[in-house]
A and B are shown apart, each in its own frame.
Chain A
């Protein structure tokens, strides 16, 4: 990619119409002339459409998205087609919604035994309760998904080359791959309320270097892992990859980072695991 390129977070802002004119022109001219940049923009656009279809956008993002991607009849048609493809795929994997039972006619009701007529109101109440419970569970899921995506976005912003370069770290922890430090004690991070961002310095011990790296943050317990792409290696003395995570997402106990090198053709190196213990 030429010049400074663009982060996923910046491209998302570009697609939501939130960048200055100069930056917009830079991205657009790279989109036309640089195939790598074109792929990055298309990937960001696909991600944005996925988030829209999954109802994972914030209200402001959704409004901006619809203004730029759902404003004309042609754009709306494209979104409807995208939704149809998604629904087709979901239905194909056996998640077809259960068709509603047709309402009973008066004649059908009269033909039912008396006991059934008494049971009907109870069953209806139970059905309503189940529907409410399902709606609640679904809302909770959507809420959790939104929170997850918000953190994922925050992580992307914290780890842009300019943030890592220009914003000093509050606290840092240097980690060696688990295999290398098997005889040493596990590093520990003391969680304090005044620590908001933690910088993890992951030492890269493999001989080969890669143009970019991917880190997967796995927290103690069964939390959903977070993924950080497009990380770069620094060679100041040794070789290390720096990542920054909000302290609040690290849970008490054993946390793990899985780091993988990504070659220019997309192939990946073997992974390195880094573990550390978070205590209060």
Chain B
């Protein structure tokens, strides 16, 4: 679980300055770096990727004052180095530690599953309604074909958009991420109301 991470303001300033001299740009890099590190912890099957990402920033904040003067190269690699150490220290999922989130205390009843599926569908509709029409059309076209025709059709789609199939996949990946975040927030709100 993510911790209540509190980086002292002075250390946060130093981290941001180290990442980029322009504060707005540094903020963007900071957010992206958090996201990337969480993904890396997930790929390494670490328990609690969000908590470990907090731990990386916590550890860097304690050393940034000295390190930024001596470290050569892309500062993101320093964060990555700290993350690698944590991967080695951290137990892998299903081996030594089970996150509470993943513990099935008892199998959910069918009615609960139906309810969750219904809520998800409702949230999906809401999130898609809010989506820019062009993006909605893009994701609709990407998925709306029979299995057999998909590969050809996606190549054709990419050709029409003047991009490679790879770029099309990246766009869909990001778009799916946006919809996922929207649905998760919607589910949280619905859960709180009930």
Contacts and interface: CB of A to CB of B under 8 A. Distances in A.
Query: Which of B43, B45, B139, B155 is packed against the most chain A CB atoms within 10 Å?
Result: B43
B162 interface: yes
Interface of B: 33, 36-37, 39-40, 42-43, 45, 74, 76-77, 79-80, 84, 93-94, 99, 101-102, 120-121, 124, 128, 139-140, 142-145, 147-148, 150-152, 155, 159, 162-167, 169-170, 172-174, 176, 179-180, 183-184
Interface string A74-97: 110110111011101110110000
A32 B176 contact: no
Interface residues on chain A, size class:
35 or more
B25 to A, nearest CB: 14
Contacts of A29: 77, 80
A42 B148 contact: no
A81 B180 contact: yes
B179 A81 contact: yes
B155 A227 contact: yes
Contact of A46 (B102, B173, B180): B173
Contact of A68 (B43, B77, B124): B43
A62 B147 CA distance: 17
Given A40-B166, A47-B169, A78-B180, A86 B143 contact: yes
B162 A88 contact: no
The 6 A-B pairs of least Cβ separation, nearest first, read A89-B143, A43-B169, A46-B169, A93-B144, A46-B173, A266-B163
A229 B36 contact: no
Contact of A32 (B36, B145, B152, B179): B36
Nearest to A230: B166
B164 A141 contact: no
A31 B53 CA distance: 16
A89 B101 contact: no
Nearest to B163: A266
Contacts of A89: 139-140, 142-144
Given A46-B172, A73-B101, 19 more contacts: A15-B43, A33-B76, A33-B77, A38-B36, A42-B169, A43-B169, A50-B150, A68-B45, A81-B120, A81-B183, A89-B142, A92-B144, A93-B140, A93-B145, A142-B147, A144-B148, A214-B164, A266-B162, A266-B164
Contact of A39 (B33, B140, B150, B170): B170
